[in-house]
Amino acid sequence: MIVVGAGPAGSTAAAYLANAGVATLLLEKSSFPRPKACGDGLTPRAVKELIHLGLPFAEADGWMRNRGLRVFGGGHELELPWPRLASFPDFGLTLPREDFDLRLARHAAQAGAELREGVNVTGPLLDDRSGRVIGVTAATPDGPAEFRAPLVVAADGVSARLATAVGRPKKPNRPVGVAVRTRIRLDGRALAPGRLEWMESHLELWDGPPAQGRLMPGYGWVFPEAAAQTQADGIGQGADAAPTARHRPPGDVVVNVGVGSVASSAQAAGAAKVNYRALLTKWLDTLGPRWGFTAADVIDRPRSAALPMAFNRQPLYARGLVLVGDAGGMVSPFDGEGIAYAMQSGRLAAGVIAQALARPSGEGREASLRTYPELMKESVGGYFSLGRVFVKLIEHPAVMRVCTRYGLPRPTLMRLVMKLLSDLYEPRGGDWMDRTIATLARMAPAA
Ligand SMILES: Cc1cc2nc3c(=O)[nH]c(=O)nc-3n(C[C@H](O)[C@H](O)[C@H](O)COP(=O)(O)OP(=O)(O)OC[C@H]3O[C@@H](n4cnc5c(N)ncnc54)[C@H](O)[C@@H]3O)c2cc1C
């Protein structure tokens, strides 16, 4: 089995495959630790995946817990704790992706996957007669190489090089997001009480004091986290290094600050023409006085990437190639979250593959592999379709403004919105809010 890309989707898939006794080669073009454009925020849905996988998240190792979202918009500020549900934990986490991805890759290697870093996969190897993917070509530190396996998992992120090479282009009718983030050091600053316990979500971006400056396109976030361990003290030299506990001095805190926006289609995104980096710089000027930072406290250059949403590449399985995570467009159109779905798809794909490989090659195995797209669509397809409708509505600034101004002061409505936007509801049973969202998600066609 070959897995291409050791981000959350690939490392999760590789860990589950190795645990199931499948010989697994995990190929990653960079070397850990590597930087990654991300808000570094894990919702309870992602925390649930960590628990499934058995990846520890002790605070002594740099994980920071949060209680929910503090939402700003329409002149209002509201704290929305993560919902208390039987199906999900009630806390979120942050950890810099440098640390997180390294630990996930290490976890996969410890489970028995063979991790090869510095291996840039250049394309699929195709069977001449059937056109089926039978391996990959790659540029390795020792020169060009070929790797063969009965199946290949494409976990190569938004670039989706493998999916593109086998003719699975982006669907133009899916929402397209773009986000950019930077990091700001707050060492030893006196912060307002509770500041570190919430992930801040700003539904409106002002280029001056709210309601006095101009409203800019997009939304923003401020997620407190510990400073990246791998940058700060250089541990984690390769995925074999032993896990090292960190004793963070009090106040050694960083905030991950970013802005993003979403459009309902590639065409709408092209028309928007937003300079995201300039937008972030302007917003930092507005945000700085509230958090007590200045431009001199910025510790990382802005990093941006596209957010591929709502299964924007399909089929998720065909002719020897399985798509997981961003490679299959699995970012939520509601909130730009991608880590939970990347890990979920890695877990489900690995389960299906292990079952399929226990059968002889042929139609029986193929039928078994085709259950993976069905499983993904069953679990999040309807929800993603609702997200596509949501994006069509909120991409009109006037609709967004009315929603924030009149919605935020209504706590019950906002608790419902929180459950909907963060995909945190009981799939069966629960209260009237859970039942409403579950019914809508079931009724929406998974496409
Ligand atoms: C600015 C920004 C902020 C975000 N914030 C959040 C957030 O706070 N929470 C959240 O849940 N999601 C967030 N997301 C989305 C999230 O980052 C992605 O959805 C998630 O990383 C997807 O995981 P993945 O494993 O599919 O892909 P990736 O994390 O992109 O991993 C792909 C891996 O494949 C490797 N690779 C690529 N090409 C090749 C190749 N040819 N050969 C070998 N290896 C290859 C890459 O080096 C990488 O390691 C954010 C995204 C952006 C851009």
Alpha-carbon dihedral 282, 287, 292, 298, rounded to 10 degrees? -40
Amino acid at 225: E
Mean pLDDT of the 345-369 span? 97
How many degrees, rounded to 5, is the angle at CA 438 between CA 433 and CA 441?
A: 125
Tens of pLDDT, residues 157-212: 999 999 999 999 999 999 999 999 999 998 877 788 888 999 999 988 877 776 67
- Indicate the top mutation candidate among 38, 121, 178, 262 to test ligand 1's pocket, ranked by most ligand atoms within 8 A of CB: 38
> What residue owns the CA closest to ligand 1's atom 27?
157
Q: Which is more confident, 62 or 194?
A: 62
Pair of tokens at residue 183: 């990091």
Give the residue whose CA is nearest to atom 37 of ligand 1. 156
Q: Can you give the pLDDT at residue 70?
A: 94
Alpha carbon distances (Å) from 94 to 223, 236, 247, 321, 418 = 8, 18, 16, 32, 19
β partners of residue 288 = none
Structure tokens, 227: 């400073």
Ligand 1 atom nearest to CA at 120: 42
CB atoms within 10 A of CB 102: 26
- Interval between CA 299 and ligand 1 midpoint (Å): 21
Question: What integer pLDDT is reported at residue 153 of this predicted model?
Answer: 98
Higher pLDDT, 263 or 311: 311
Eight-state DSSP code of residue 341: H
Indicate the pTM of the whole model.
0.94
- Residue 296 CA from chain centroid, whole number: 29
- The average confidence (pLDDT) of the chain is 90
The side-by-side arrangement of strands in the sheet containing 133-140 is: 120-126, 133-140, 143-148
CA of 72 to the centre of ligand 1 (A): 27
Residue 167 sits at φ, ψ, to 5 deg, of: 80, 40
How many Cβ atoms are within 10 Å of 26's Cβ, its own excluded? 29
Which atom of ligand 1 is closest in space to residue 256's alpha carbon? Answer: 8
Q: How many CB atoms lie within 10 A of CB 390?
A: 19
pLDDT tens across 189-199, in order? 778 888 899 99
- Strand partners of residue 321: 152, 318
Pick from 188, 196, 185, 189: nearest CA to 59? 196
Contact, 405 vs 75, CB < 8 A?
yes
User: What's the 329 CA to ligand 1 centre distance in angstroms?
Assistant: 11
Per-residue pLDDT tens digits for 232-270: 333 344 444 444 434 444 457 899 999 998 888 877 777
> In degrees rounded to 5, what are phi and psi of residue 281?
-60, -45
Q: Which two tokens stand for residue 20?
A: 């199931």
Q: How many A from CA of 157 to the centre of ligand 1?
A: 5
Whether the predicted pLDDT of 11 surpasses 90:
yes
Tell me what pLDDT residue 227 has. 84
User: What distance in angstroms lies between residue 9's CA and the mean position of ligand 1's atoms?
Assistant: 8
The residues lining ligand 1, judged by C-beta closer than 6 Å to any ligand atom, are: 4-10, 27-30, 37-41, 46, 120-121, 155-157, 159, 161, 179-181, 258, 304-305, 307, 325-327, 331, 336-340, 342
Q: Pocket of ligand 1, candidates 11, 326, 380, 422: which has the most ligand atoms within 8 Å of its Cβ, to mutate?
A: 326
d(CA 392, CA 381): 17
Nearest-5° angle of CA 371, CA 372, CA 373? 95
